[in-house]
Structure 1
Amino acid sequence: MEGMISFGNKRSYNDFKKQIPEKAQPLFDSIREFCLSLGGNVVEDVRMHRVVFGKSLTFRWFADVEPEREGIIIKIQKSRKENPQVLQIKTGQDITEIKEIIKKAFQTIN
């Protein structure tokens, strides 16, 4: 995507997507698209085994998404003083509540 910033090894999401189990890809893509839709200041950092979403150039992360065979694991951070909330999501699971948790974390993080 134009304007996206990536740190580290400069992997693209398309490269990363090849390692996501086929069954988990739609769920992972849905969470990714939701995170990116939260605002123009969302930064995506594609890492070796996960994708981390942060806010602006200070990169205060709010969501760390890692694929699994049957779903994904999301770590959600609202502040640096709190431990991240870890959620395991299976394919086919309703993610409406999880999107709200991510949205609140995005709005809360400084």
Structure 2
Amino acid sequence: MEGIISFGNKRSYEDFKKQIPTQVLPLFDTIREFCFNLGENVVEDVRMHRVVFCKSMTFRWFTDVEPHKEGVIIKLQKSRKEPVEIIQIDKNQKISEFGDLIKKAYEQIH
């Protein structure tokens, strides 16, 4: 995107993947793909210890995903007025068990 100014070096997801435990990587990749499939306006922000998914360039984040040894911790934000919902996902769980929560956060965030 032209005209966007970047300060410093942004981490790529490829760099971030190196710190995700091998047994958790398939789950993390599935969550990432699910978030991108919610809409064309999903933006990924790779941070030091987690990946945040935002709705458009306004950076209204709806999902914050952090890897751990046995799974991931997901923070969901539906609005700035509601408290953040935190769920812990085991590496053996399927996206079908919690995908509706992510989708609802994406649809409700403004």
Q: TM-score, normalised by structure 1?
A: 0.91
- Counterpart for residue 31 of structure 2: 31
| Match in the other structure for 2:87 | 87
Off by >2 Å, runs of 4+ in structure 1: 5-9
Aligned residue for 1:105? 105
Cα distance in structure 1, aligned partners of 2:88 and 2:8: 26
Structure 1 residue 33 displacement after superposition = 0.4
Q: Which amino acid aligns with 1:106?
A: Y
SS in 2 for 1:23: coil
Overall identity of the aligned pairs, in %: 67
- Conserved? CA contact 1:65–1:72, under 8 Å: yes
Give the Cα–Cα distance (whole angstroms) in 2 for the partners of residues 42 and 7 of structure 1: 21
The 1:7/1:52 distance shift into structure 2, 3 A limit, reads farther
Rg: which structure is higher? 2
Q: 1:53 to 1:67 in 2, by over 3 A?
A: same
Taking structure 1 as reference, are residues 35 and 75 closer, same or farther at Cα in structure 2, changes over 3 Å only?
same
Aligned-residue RMSD, C-alpha: 1.9
Gaps of 5+ in 2: none
Please state whether the residue corresponding to 1:44 is helix, strand or coil: strand
Given that 1:44 and 1:52 are in contact with CA atoms closer than 8 Å, whether structure 2 keeps it comes out as: yes
Q: How many pairs were matched up?
A: 107
Query: Residue 104 of structure 1 aligns to a residue in which SS?
Result: helix
Using structure 2 for the length normalisation, give the TM-score: 0.91
Tell me the residue number matched to 2:67.
67
Does residue 14 of structure 1 match 2:47?
no
